[in-house]
Chain A
Amino acid sequence: MITIKDIEKSFGDSKVLKGISTVFETGKTNLIIGQSGSGKTVLLKSLLGIHTPDKGTISFDGRIYSELSDDDRRELRTEIGMVFQGSALFDSMTVEENIGFPLKMFTNKSDAEISERVNFVINRVQLINANQKKPSEISGGMQKRVAIARAIVNNPKYLFCDEPNSGLDPKTAIVIDNLIQEITAEYNITTVINTHDMNSVMEIGERIIFLKEGVLAWEGTKKDIFKTDNEAIVDFVYSSELFKKIRKAQNKGE
C-alpha cells in the first residue's frame, strides 16, 4: 500500500501539485487520470523518487520515503517495477537480456536461474519467438510486454505504469491492460497507472483518482463513475459523444 499525504510540488512560480492525499491499495490497479498538465506525471515521478515533493510524505507500506537513508531508498527501489510510456527498453540488449537486467544487477542468481526466471515471465506475458530479438525488431505491443516482463521479473511490490497504452491500437491496448490487471492480482502488487485512456479506465479502473489542476478532484471506482454527479469527472470522462451515450444508457438501465 502506498499512502501519500498532503503532497505539494512547484516548479518556479507554477504550483503543479496542491496538497494531494490518497491511498493506493495493494492488489488493485490504481489509476491516476486527468487532463494533460493536471499533474499526473509529476505525481508519478514523485512516487518514483525522480521528483522530491516540496511538502508532504509518501509512505511505502509504512516506510516514509523522505525519511529513508540512501541505502534504504536503494533497497526500496529494487522493490519497484516501472513500465515507461515509450517502454524504455535498452537498445543494445536483446529481449532476454532486457528482462534479465534487474536480476543481473540486484540478485546473486546464477545464469541458469536467471534464464529460468526470464523464460517464466516471458511465458507469463506471452512473448513468442522474441527472446533473441532487439527492441527495434519487435512491435510496439511486444515492446510493452517486454517492459512489463522486465518490471515484474524481480517480484516487485510496487508496479508503476506511465501511459502503458500510448501508441497501441485499441485491441492491443486492452490486452496490455488486462495483463497488468492479472499480474497485479496474481502477485498482490500495488499497481499505479498513469493514463488518460478512457478505455483503460473502464476496463481496469479498480480504483481511480482524478486530478484537476493539481488538486485531487475525485476518487472512486469505475462503477462509481457512472453514478457520480461530480462535474469535473463527468466533464472529463464523458467529453466524447460515445461515452455520453454509454452513461445515459447505463443510468437508464439502473
Chain B
Amino acid sequence: MTAAAELRPAPQAPRRVRRLRAAIAACVLALATTCAPVPLGDGPRRQTVRALTEQVVLPTLGDVAARAAELAAAAGALAGAPSQQALDATQEAWRVARGPWKECDAFAFGPAMDERLAVAIDQFPVEPAKIESEIAGTAALTVDYIDTIGADRKGFHALEHLLFGAGDDLAVLALLTTDAAAPRRRELLVALAQNLERKARELGSAWAPGGGAYAELLATPSAANPTYTTVKAAIDAFVNESVFLAELVADTRIGKPLGLSAGGTPQPALEESGPSDNSLADMAASLRGLRAVYTGARGADGASGSGAGIGALVAAQSPATDREVRDLIEQAIAAIEAIPRPFRAAIVDRPAEVQAAYDAVKELKRILATEVLAALGATLKFNDNDGD
C-alpha cells in the first residue's frame, strides 16, 4: 500500500450502521464477559484457595484419618486385652484424634455436610441410653452395622461414653471386663472405633484428588464448576465457616455451659466433651483450625505452611484489620488455654476466666463478620438469595 493510499480516508459506513456495529460489539463483549467459559485467571484469591486445600485441608484430613486408625488399633488392643495401660493408650489416642478433627471445624463444608460425615463422626450430644441399648441388644456389632444406626449413638462421643463415661477408669475397666455385658461392650468399642476410622477415611477421600476430588472442585472455580462458579464462592465458603465457627465456640461451647443464656446458671451438661475433660482442648483445636485457614499455616504454633491464607488477602485490603484478626485469634486461643481444667468446674468456680475466653472469641467473631467480610467482599451466604 502506498503512502497516498494510507492517507486517503477509508470509505465510511453509514452512521446508523456504525452505531449498530458499536452496539453489537459492546453486547458481544458483555456477553463474553458474562457467559464465556474462559479459564479463570490465576490471581491471588485462586492461589489462596489452592494453597488452603493443599496445605491445610488435605494434610489435616490426612492427620484425622491417621489418628483415627491409631484410635481403632488402640481400641482393638483394649478389647483384646483390657488393662489400665491399654485403656490409657486408647483414651490418649481418642484425645489425640480429637485435635486434627476439631481443626476440621474450620472447613466443615462440602462432603462433611453433604455426605453427613460430620454428624457420623462427631454428633453432640449422643444418647448414652441408646448406646447402652445397643450393648443390651442382639444385633451383631460390626462396623457395617454402625453405619446403619443413628448419629446419636456413634462417633467420637459414643466412644467417649465407653472410654470415659463410667466416672473413673476402674469403673470403665470393670464394664469392659467383669460386667455381664462386657463382651458386647468390647465389640461395640471396636466397631465404633473402626467405623470412625472408616468415616474419617471417607471424608479424606471425598476431598482427595484420587477420590471425590472436592479440593480440586474448590480450587478450580469456573462457569462449568457445578459448585463453585467463581473464586469468590470458594473464598466465601472458607470465610463463612470461620464466622460460623467463632460463633459456635463463643455461644455454644463456652457461653451455654457458662450459663449466659440461662440467666447466669452454669449448665455443665452442655459441655461438649465433659466425660473426657477434653472440652478446652477441643475449643483450642477448633480455633487453631480457624487460624490455619486465616494464616495458611497449620500446627500447634501455627508455623507450618505457606502462609497463603485468607489473612494475606485481608492484609492486601486492610492491613490494620489483618493485624487485629491475627491478634484476636491468638488472644482467643490463649484465653481458652488459660481456663483451668476441668471446664465443668471452671464454669462454676472460675467464671471470670471463662467469661474472658467468651469475650475474646466473640470479639474475633465480630471482626470476622464485619471487617473481614468487607475486606474480602465476601458474602455471608445462608441461602442463594438475590440482592440489589
Q: Are these two chains actual partners, yes or no? A: no
Residues of chain B whose beta carbon lies under 8 Å from any beta carbon of chain A: none
